[in-house]
């Protein structure tokens, strides 16, 4: 099934109903929103409106059956329907895989533009992370081969054989302030430290050290965007998204020792 949606509906409450009310042909709206219905990404009023239409429309009922067969197919979902579903929902497509590391299992997510998520599964539920990714506008499907390059560089880093990453970073879906903080943090070299205050100064807002700390706490790409190299002004480590023990481990890899 090769469909090119003509109307792009974001997964927001009431989007289907509003579009159906103004469309010349409600079938166009229903067919375009069908992937969202099938994967359960519509609110209840939109689901009800679509179900009522489908019950009275043989053509749309066939489209629904096509999508249900496609999405339940044993073919890898990233090669089948989900790319179309991502496009129909206005989401960026991503692929994910997993790796073991000295700091526990990691979830890695990449898009066509770069690495967009590194999650410590020791303290993050993977389903919650996928929900947060969708909140950033990214729909990910499993494809281990897509994260192989990132995994190789992380293995080298954890093994003390790499002090800089060459993989591109995709900060899609983060706020402009957070983007500025993460870009400034990316400039902190291997084995060096900066304070939250100095990062705030680097983005032109020296009084925003607390906001910088909050933004780094939401860093979606730890290790590669090295928020572990940012510490408090008194020289103490400060908080870290993966926990203080992981922050200490990463700094030890880089030759930085805290008492």
> What is the spatial distance between Cα 99 and Cα 78, in angstroms, rounded to a whole number?
20
Q: How far apart, in Å, do the first and last CA atoms of the chain sit?
A: 60
227 is catalytic: yes
Tokens of 154: 């992380």
Quick one: which of 148, 162, 172, 157 has its CA closest to 221?
172
> What is the spatial distance between Cα 80 and Cα 83, in angstroms, rounded to a whole number?
7
Q: Beta strands 106-111 and 114-120: pairing type?
A: antiparallel
Instruction: Please report how many Cα atoms fall inside a 13 Å half-sphere around the Cα of residue 148, on the Cβ side.
Output: 4
Alpha-carbon radius of gyration of the chain:
22
Q: Classify residue 242 as left (phi > 0), alpha (psi -120 to 50) or beta.
A: alpha
The catalytically annotated residue of 27, 57, 60, 227 is 227
Residue 92's φ and ψ, nearest 5 degrees, are -85, 135
> What is the spatial distance between Cα 109 and Cα 146, in angstroms, rounded to a whole number?
9
| Distinct helix (H) and strand (E) counts, the chain | 11, 6
What residues are annotated to the active site?
A: 227
């Amino acid at each position: 099934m090769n469909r090119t949606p003509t109307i792009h509906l974001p997964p927001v409450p009431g989007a289907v109903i509003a579009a159906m009310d103004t469309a010349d042909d409600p079938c166009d709206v229903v067919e375009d929103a069908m992937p969202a219905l099938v994967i359960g990404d519509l609110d209840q009023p939109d689901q009800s409106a679509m179900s009522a239409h489908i019950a009275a429309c043989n053509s749309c009922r066939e489209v629904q059956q096509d999508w249900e067969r496609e999405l339940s197919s044993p073919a890898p979902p990233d090669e089948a329907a989900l790319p179309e579903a991502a496009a129909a929902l206005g989401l960026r497509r991503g692929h994910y895989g997993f790796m073991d590391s000295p700091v526990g299992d990691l979830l890695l997510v990449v898009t066509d533009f770069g690495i967009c998520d590194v999650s410590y599964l020791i303290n993050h539920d993977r389903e919650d992370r996928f929900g947060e990714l969708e909140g950033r506008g990214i729909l990910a499907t499993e494809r281990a081969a897509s994260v192989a390059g990132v995994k190789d560089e992380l293995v080298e880093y954890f093994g003390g054989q790499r002090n800089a990453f060459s993989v591109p970073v995709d900060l899609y879906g983060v706020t402009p302030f957070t983007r500025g903080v993460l870009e400034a943090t990316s400039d902190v070299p291997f084995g060096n430290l900066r304070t939250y205050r100095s990062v705030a100064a680097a983005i032109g807002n020296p009084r925003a050290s607390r906001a910088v700390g909050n933004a780094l706490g939401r860093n979606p790409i730890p290790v590669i965007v090295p928020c572990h190299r940012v510490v408090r002004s008194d020289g103490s480590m400060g908080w870290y998204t993966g926990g203080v023990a992981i922050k200490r481990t990463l700094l030890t890899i880089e030759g930085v020792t805290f008492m």
